[in-house]
Amino acid sequence: MRFLIKLIPERDEFRVPYNHQYYLQGLIYRRIQRVNPDLSLRLHNPRVPKFFTYSLFMAEERRVDKGKPHFLGRGNGYFYFSTAVPEIAEAFVGGLLENPEVELWGEHFTVEEIKALYELEKLSGRKFITLSPIAVSTTRQVFGKPRTYDLSPTDPEFYEHIRENLIEKYTSLTGKPPGSGELEFKVILAKPKRFQVKPGIYQRAWHLFFRVKGDEDLLRVGYLTGFGEKNSIGFGMVKVDGKRRVKRTWKGGEGNRKGKDA
């Protein structure tokens, strides 16, 4: 289940920090907790797979605020959310409709509408564009101690780690292994990005334009829950290169307004 969330800003021009995934993650968890506290509690367990991802925050118009850690947006703000678990989708969307007043990084927005997007039946052989960069890492021994390295698309391990990660997600979701389990990636364009995910903790990830062929089950899991790692903190969401189709739209006014985020 994939959604486009459109937000009306309180101000004509608003700030968006480049390192903002943490704020969106907080919004998602707060809205889920509002509707389904038991689900929120389960998702906070670090050993429980999350099975959702989301895009970076975007604006209809943007300009660089030179030398500042943010860009300036005008018009509506928006982001995408995706999950393979209907319970998560229902709780998050329901929470947004119940309380459409949103505060992010000190800026105030109101949910204008939420659009459920059509999901393509066939994904193998299609081109994909990242809506949030793909993060892949590995652990190597350095002087007898394990050290984490962020991988790049030039590393063969990059693609094998993505495939293994998707197999783990699919098996956890369905309780059975996928079909062939084979995937073949071809990267067309790649751009590195470095994000601060927590104070003092950084992640190097990659915006990609790529084509992938292979197991439809694995591709469906990547399409809904994200490719690579750290999906629940805003990495690995992709879209199919092409036009976006809308399945259903909810207007912000359909929910009950109950104040702003805490």
pLDDT tens-place values along the chain, 262 residues long: 999 999 999 999 999 999 999 999 999 999 999 999 999 999 998 888 899 999 999 999 999 999 999 999 999 999 999 999 999 999 999 999 999 999 999 999 999 999 999 888 899 999 999 999 999 999 887 777 888 889 999 999 999 999 999 999 999 999 999 988 899 999 999 999 999 887 788 899 999 999 999 999 999 999 999 999 999 999 999 999 976 677 777 877 555 444 444 3
Do 2-119+244-254 and 127-240 fold alike per CATH?
Answer: yes
DSSP state of 135: B
Cα radius of gyration rounded to whole Å, the chain: 18
| pLDDT at residue number 201 | 84
> What is the set of active-site residues?
29, 44
Nearest to 173, CA basis, from 91, 116, 88, 54: 88
**How is domain 127-240 classified at the architecture level of CATH?**
2-Layer Sandwich (3.30)
Quick check: 207 and 194 in contact, CB under 8 A?
Answer: no
The alpha helices in the chain, defined as continuous H runs, are 21-35, 37-43, 86-98, 156-174, 216-225
Domain 2-119+244-254 has CATH 1.10.287.130: no
Quick check: 72 and 43 in contact, CB under 8 A?
Answer: no
| pLDDT at residue number 259 | 43
Domain ranges of the chain: 2-119+244-254, 127-240
| pLDDT at residue number 73 | 96
SS3 202: strand
Burial, 105: exposed, middle or buried (Cβ in 10 Å; 0-12, 13-18, 19+)? Answer: middle
Quickly tell me which residue has 């780690």 as its tokens: 161
